[in-house]
Amino acid sequence: MSLHAAPTLEADFTAAPPAPETLRRVYRLMRTADELARLYEENKAVTAKYVHATARGHEAIQLAAACQLGPQDYVAPYYRDDAMLLGIGLQPYELMLQLMAKRDDPFSGGRTYYSHPSLRRAGFPTIPHQSSATGMQAIPATGVAHGIKYLESQGLMGISNEQLVINNLPIVPGSEEAEQLILNSSLLITNSKAKPLVLCSIGDGAMTEGEVSEALQMAVLHQLPIIYLVQDNEWGISATGREMRAMDAYEFAAGFKGLHRLQFDGADFLASYAGMQQAADYVRERRGPVLVHARCPLLGHHTSGVRREWYRGDNLAQHSLQDPLPRFHQQLLELGFAEDELQQLAAEARATVEADYQRALAAPNPDPATFADHEFAPPAVTEEAGERTPAGADKALMVDAALHAVDDILREFPEALFYGQDVGGELGGVFREAALLAKKYGDARVFNTPIQEAYIVGSTAGMSAVGAKAIVEVQFADYIWPALNQLVEELSKSCYLSNGQFPVQSLIRVPIGAYGGGGPYHSGSIESTLLTIRGIKVVYPSNAADMKGLMRAAYLDPNPVVMLEHKGLYWSKVPGTEDAKTVEPATGYVVPLGKAAVAQQADATKLQNGETCVVITYGMGVHWAKTASRQFAGQVEILDLRTLNPLDYEAVEAAVRRHGKALVLTEEPLLNSFAESLAGRIQRTCFRQLDAPVFTLGAANLPAIALNVDLERQMLPNPDKVAAALAELLGY
């Protein structure tokens, strides 16, 4: 560890010294954190059953940060921040419940690691769920700050700590109405007279992650109210700082114009308190981002599974010279505290930890029957509602139905906002799917982002935590891959791992599919990859009416929803897609997610005679099947899945049992696809009712769609290929 003196603090604000009572509390908590680490080590046969890390060496900066936080604030701790959790008011017993994966673990109910908190509790800073915090937390935390700034700009923030403000209406805290709003992740901002801030805690090793740069870029671009607290102990796991980076976080941050920087000794509580107070004052008063670089010794193990004696050598002794606990003890003596008083505080800390440990050991384990609870929050829309075909309404293109659905949402819900690449400004999306929305609702609500798919998707988790409801767009399905880390690690797991506290309300629009010459990076299909991700919903409409109804239901759903929108159906210009253009439903029309629809019925007489089959498909497949079925009048039912997860498998089974013959049709390469998986499931559950093997048809098993239209046609399904498969199936 480098022992050189930290640069002088920038004197934007004058930090008041901590009150004596604050110093006593901090000393007791620093001792408590030390006792936790000692107890875990002495009882490692029990405590190391599940992996954990402790704050040893980082206690001063963590407690200094916690001293600046109030109930109006949001925190994204990282896995070494147990001292910070003590500082905001959590009890050792509560931390130990998570350590031992107990039922009453207040953060996850035994589902995730020690010091991986999720907390929504009156009187405490809010801690949204996050993953294992090796850089991925920076984007959702910045999304929280972005959501706060948006809600402030719209006048949707609360104004006192006695009152919650939901859509500008006062709600009594603790009431059944307030609790239900919290549960449903509705608009909820509690605020004191101090403006809220976000604290994102991160280790210096994680600063090299590309997603951290995306977060810093957006924080500076939009001047968001966030502190990035970088705790630098100059270690990754066994890799040293000089192996991992060309510069430290303070030097790195200099490249982001508008990012205020502070640097100080994170092992010195008094210096850390002054520095964190400056950082918090700057954010609350200036409403811009700050990066704090605090050097700390690493005195414990990296984790219980990677022990310090395996690789630290003399470095551990060097770090021990900077131990914050004896340094703070000496500072308190110099400030006039008596040794007897400090020893009494230390004894109280030890007694509390020992007693809480025994309580935690005796606490019950989770009921195995609850293992599947909270994959999703309950849906808001369970039945079709509104007018699908209002009298006198004109037909609409799919792209216009999507535009009108979003327009209706923005008009009705002030907490809604829409962002992504090129959706704002004059263009309104490369497919004009957001045309004029920015002009209508302003740049605070509809805006362009940098080319940052990870931020576009991951920020919605933070937005949701504060009650801002984001609609975002990834410009092409082929470009979604940089967002997969956030989609998988942050959005999909949040509801489950927070034990239902933090479902993520997020609508992610993704134009998808081939449309004639789009080429390898504008034509791909990605649904099978998405469908391997548990905890997200995937919707794929085939016509304008369903587009409008599903878009609204997806927005209202309290869970992450990916809306796949086929580019070839947007304007019904591709031959055979005329039926994608439908009468436009009325405002407010909704189609529940997870409900398939019969897009074409078979003739009843031919069904009775056993001359029929069903095509199970979605998106462009519906229109290929319609065109192909003209050669088999009355013999082909088409089941449009509409939602791929949750899948309406009851409708699938019913259709297969009606006909005894089924074709599963997809635009994706067939090998290892969702379509093949569905066909296998049908074979297993409908085996006795089948009169033929379940047929499948998809694209050729190639890595990309070629640019040349003749090569594209050769690769993809089309009505002629579908007709050939139907002829074979019906003749089986």
The answer to whether the Cα torsion of 286, 291, 297, 298 is positive or negative is: positive
The gap from C-alpha 39 to its chain's centroid, in whole angstroms, comes to 34
- In whole angstroms, what is the distance from residue 101 CA to residue 329 CA? 34
Structure tokens belonging to residue 206? 């994680």
**CB-based contact 619:550 (threshold 8 Å):** no
Helix, strand or coil for residue 194?
coil
Bridge-based pairing of strands 613-617 and 636-640 is: parallel
- For 139-149, b/e burial (b = at least 16 CB within 10 A) is bbbbbbbbbbb
Burial of 120 (0-12, 13-18, 19+ CB in 10 A): middle
- In whole angstroms, what is the distance from residue 344 CA to residue 28 CA? 9
Query: 508: part of which helix (H) or strand (E)?
Result: strand 506-512
The gap from C-alpha 82 to its chain's centroid, in whole angstroms, comes to 23
- In whole angstroms, what is the distance from residue 352 CA to residue 35 CA? 9
- In whole angstroms, what is the distance from residue 12 CA to residue 293 CA? 17
Number of H helices, E strands in the chain: 28, 21
Order the strands of the 537-539 sheet from edge to edge: 446-448, 416-420, 469-473, 506-512, 560-566, 537-539, 643-645
**CB-based contact 476:513 (threshold 8 Å):** no
Structure tokens belonging to residue 450? 């940098």
* Catalytic choice (52, 222, 374, 522): 522
Structure tokens belonging to residue 693? 């093997």
- In whole angstroms, what is the distance from residue 461 CA to residue 128 CA? 8
522 is a catalytic site residue: yes
In degrees rounded to 5, what are phi and psi of residue 707?
-70, -45
Radius of gyration of the chain (CA): 28
Nearest of 566, 674, 682, 678 to residue 624 by alpha carbon: 566
**HSE-up of residue 655 (Cα within 13 Å, Cβ side):** 28
The strand pairing partners of 200, in sequence order, are 76, 228
Which residue type occupies 544?
A
Mind telling me the catalytic residues? 522
